[in-house]
Amino acid sequence: MDEKLTDSKKRVLLTTDAANPQALKAVTGMDQNGIPRTVSPDGANIADFLAIDKNGNALENFFKKFLEQTKNPAHTGFFLMTQDVLGKIIEMQPVNAKTLEPYRIDPQQFLDQRQEQKQGQAQEPGGAASGQKNDFQPIDENKINWSQAATMGINRQLLEDTGQLKAILYGHKSPALNHLVFTLEGITFDTQARLSLKEMPDGMYNIQPHSYLKAPDLDRPFLGAMLTGKDKENLLASGNAGRVVDLEQSPGQKIPALISLDKITNRLEAVPVEKLNIPQSLKGVEFTHQQVKDLKEGKVVLVEGMITKKSQDTDNPKKFDAYIQFNAAKGSFDFSYGGLDQNRNLQENKQQQSHENEPNNVRIPQKLLGVELTPKQQEDLREDKTIYVKGMLKDGQDQPFNAYVKINQREGKLDFYKFNPEKARKQGAEITPASESQTQVAVNSEGKTNEATKKVNEPLKQGQTQPTGNQGKQIHKGKDMKM
């Protein structure tokens, strides 16, 4: 695919009328009764065609609605193909059934296969259950022209063993270079190349090599366009030119396109702007109109609050920010993080996790035993820290008390301590209560007495060291005040 605009991933859906099987129509949508809307499949109507992205769910949704609402379809079938193949078929007018048959697609069979595929991916390691969503149909391996592949020294078993076959069946280039040896017009070529599949007019797929260069050649014209100094700088730094470039696919015809550098083969590749597949959202974030416009112009766009792949299907999604840019060589986005404050997201994720994962759904109160907790105290509790609260009132007691408070992870409740449990764990030493409450705790909670307090019969007040005339001895045993 050297120095060619990369083929679009989009397909067009066609149908034929039962009354006139040779009258091929392009599907543009569906009415409320489930009847496909169609137009003549010529260039003047191409903007109205229902574009089917192999990575999306448009075809699945269309067929579901069609089968739910249409009882007596007035057509002889559906056919799915690229716009390039459609153009070649139209040139073969009149259209005959034999020409269309390789592209026939049965709605119910398609939906059944799609469901089986999703179930299989959910069970495979690294599949949908792990966050990798391959929602589109792979190319049928039986449609690959393996005899053509053999002429280049391509071994099918080797592709499978190295994991490259799966990549190309899903419309990607092979992730590694392959050693190729072939003869063309009497000249033997010995080279390395990435591989992809190219659909032929007969419905079969040929292996398409993307040969390797030792270094990028950015000084010669690329499809009729000379790269600027800034273009070269961007391509070497990020792999993308960063702007729309007018390329010349045929003499006198300018095509606005994005250019990227395949960093494995060191070759330039391009995709026309009109064939760009920019989704409406990415990782849980809806794009604004301006973001879509900027992405189509090859610019770098900041997207905030995206959800990580591993947490998309969890109750505690993790968020992150990134700069994204469309890469024409990959057909997908590049992500970069330079200059971003990722600590903001880490803190937000931590706070969200502490809020949503409070042990056994422990409710963090705003008011605890009559004392208003500050926002900082509430947040510390959520983060499994110990707080110190003064002046609380316990049921049955008239005197306020001070205590350390911490979440009990095992039992899902708040525990109250005379001593700081964090300090106890860290120092491993005997701990005394806060100084202003030492006598109060000794008498009220531990049953201890001295000469001054041996006759008290009421609880001492906070900070009190001497009994009043009405107080007598009262013993209350126990170490930790737990609720």
> pLDDT tens, 302-358?
999 898 877 777 777 888 888 999 999 988 899 988 877 766 666 666 655 554 444
Q: Is the pLDDT reported for residue 245 higher than 90? A: yes
In this predicted model, what pLDDT tens digit does every residue of 309-320 receive, in sequence order?
A: 777 777 778 888
| 276 confidence band (pLDDT: 50, 70, 90) | confident
Please report the pLDDT score of residue 230 as a whole number: 95
Mean pLDDT of the chain: 76
Q: For the chain, what is the radius of gyration of the CA atoms?
A: 35
The rounded distance, in Å, linking the Cα atoms of 189 and 209 is: 12
| 389 confidence band (pLDDT: 50, 70, 90) | very high
Residue 81, number of CB atoms within 10 A of its CB: 22
The rounded distance, in Å, linking the Cα atoms of 194 and 217 is: 18
* Mean local confidence (pLDDT), 262-288: 90
Tell which wins on pLDDT, 231 or 421: 231
Q: Is the pLDDT reported for residue 89 higher than 60? A: yes
Tell which wins on pLDDT, 298 or 105: 298
Per-residue b or e along 202-212, where b marks 16 or more CB atoms closer than 10 Å to that residue's CB: ebbbebbbbbb
184 with 212: CB under 8 angstroms?
A: no
The rounded distance, in Å, linking the Cα atoms of 228 and 410 is: 64
The H or E element spanning position 61 is helix 58-69
* Mean local confidence (pLDDT), 60-73: 70
The rounded distance, in Å, linking the Cα atoms of 48 and 27 is: 8
In this predicted model, what pLDDT tens digit does every residue of 171-208 receive, in sequence order?
A: 888 888 888 887 877 788 888 899 999 988 888 999 99
Please report the pLDDT score of residue 343 as a whole number: 67
Least confident piece of the model among 1-15, 76-90, 106-120, 158-172: 1-15
Which residues are CB-contacts of 269 (< 8 A; sequence separation ≥ 6)?
1, 6, 259, 260, 261, 262, 328, 329
Q: Is the pLDDT reported for residue 55 higher than 90? A: no
Residue tagged 């820290």 (tokens): 385
In this predicted model, what pLDDT tens digit does every residue of 356-386 receive, in sequence order?
A: 444 445 678 888 888 889 988 988 888 888 9
Residue (of 224, 179, 203) closest to 82 by Cα position: 203
Q: Which amino acid is at 430?
A: E
Please report the pLDDT score of residue 236 as a whole number: 94
Please report the pLDDT score of residue 227 as a whole number: 95
Please report the pLDDT score of residue 370 as a whole number: 84
Measured in residues, the chain has a length of 483
DSSP string over 108-125: HHHHHHHHHHHHHHHHST
Least confident piece of the model among 85-89, 143-147, 228-232, 358-362: 358-362
Residue (of 143, 278, 251, 270) closest to 197 by Cα position: 143
Q: Is the pLDDT reported for residue 447 higher than 70? A: no
Percent of the chain with pLDDT over 90: 20
Please report the pLDDT score of residue 474 as a whole number: 44
Please report the pLDDT score of residue 397 as a whole number: 64
Q: Is the pLDDT reported for residue 451 higher than 60? A: no
Please report the pLDDT score of residue 327 as a whole number: 93
Q: Is the pLDDT reported for residue 403 higher than 80? A: yes
* Mean local confidence (pLDDT), 71-92: 72
Can the peptide bond before residue 94 be classed as cis, meaning omega within 30 degrees of 0? yes
Q: Number of C-alpha atoms within 13 angstroms, CB side, residue 195?
A: 29
